[in-house]
Amino acid sequence: MDAYIAAPPGAPVAPSEKPPLPVRPRSLPERHSVRAQVLAALRDALAGGQLAPGEVYSAPALAERYGVSATPVREAMQQLASEGAVETVPNRGFRIAGHTARDAAELAEVRAALEVPAIMRLARTLPPERWDELRPLAEATVTAATLGDRAAYAEADRCFHRALLRLTGNRQLVLIAEDLHRRSQSPAASRPLPGTAELLADALEHAALLDALRRRDLTAAQQLASEHFTGV
């Protein structure tokens, strides 16, 4: 069942013939910032395909759908613009950027260059039982993929990779890698959104990687990690 972002207490809700954009239920701590709520909702809408590449959306129109003022929508859209997910269109609003096949390949290459060496350093030094800490996060990606919930999968996937890289203790690596990860999750203008089978195949790679790391099979771990990003 679709859920919708609720207006903050006391905020006016403008009447509209269009229903609000669907937002999946979240099991995260309550957000105290309207801007943060709107940003999360917009990211879900991007991942779920409710905001289409090439389309232009105005802040007032989105604000009406979400039942908030235009200010937090503009602020959230500016954040998405800084991440490359949208482009500012003067006097009109924001165009959903939609990366190309080349963009996707380049982002995958950069992510692999950062994350694979980090994973292999951990594989050589981390006690095998530490990898079990990531099992619930890997399972969460499988659950979201099985449901075909692209927005839930996008967040679960980020949580898994973020937790993995946090094991390095390198905060800058975590920040940079997550920014790249968000960029890679932007909708592609040249291909359809991933289906359940594609999401599930990606999710199962997390568990396979943890299995290889748990048994300290460095050759398999490196191959799995590399293929997870580049597909080769």
CB 51 within 8 A of CB 45: yes
Residue-wise pLDDT for 104-150, tens only, equals: 889 999 999 999 999 999 999 999 999 999 999 999 999 999 998 88
Hey, what domains does the chain have and what are their CATH numbers?
Answer: 1-97 (1.10.10.10), 101-230 (1.20.120.530)
CA 101 to chain centre: 18
Q: What is the pTM of this model?
A: 0.75
Residue-wise pLDDT for 148-173, tens only, equals: 888 899 999 999 999 999 999 999 99
Enter the tokens of residue 224.
């799995």
| pLDDT of amino acid 12 | 46
User: What is the rounded average pLDDT of the residues 44-70?
Assistant: 88
Q: How confident is the model at residue 33 (pLDDT cuts 50, 70, 90)?
A: confident
Q: How far is CA 229 from CA 15, 107, 170, 181, 182, in A?
A: 44, 9, 20, 10, 14
| pLDDT of amino acid 6 | 43
Is the model's pLDDT at 22 over the cut of 70? no
Q: How confident is the model at residue 91 (pLDDT cuts 50, 70, 90)?
A: confident
User: What is the rounded average pLDDT of the residues 8-29?
Assistant: 44
* Listed residue (186, 174, 170, 162) closest to 43, CA to CA: 186
Nearest-angstrom CA–CA distance, 95 and 56: 4
Average per-residue pLDDT for the chain: 84
| pLDDT of amino acid 190 | 58
- Rounded to the nearest 10°, the torsion over CA 18, 20, 21, 26 is -160
* Residue 169 vs residue 49, higher pLDDT: 169
Share of the chain above pLDDT 70, in %: 83
Residue-wise pLDDT for 182-203, tens only, equals: 888 877 665 677 888 999 999 9
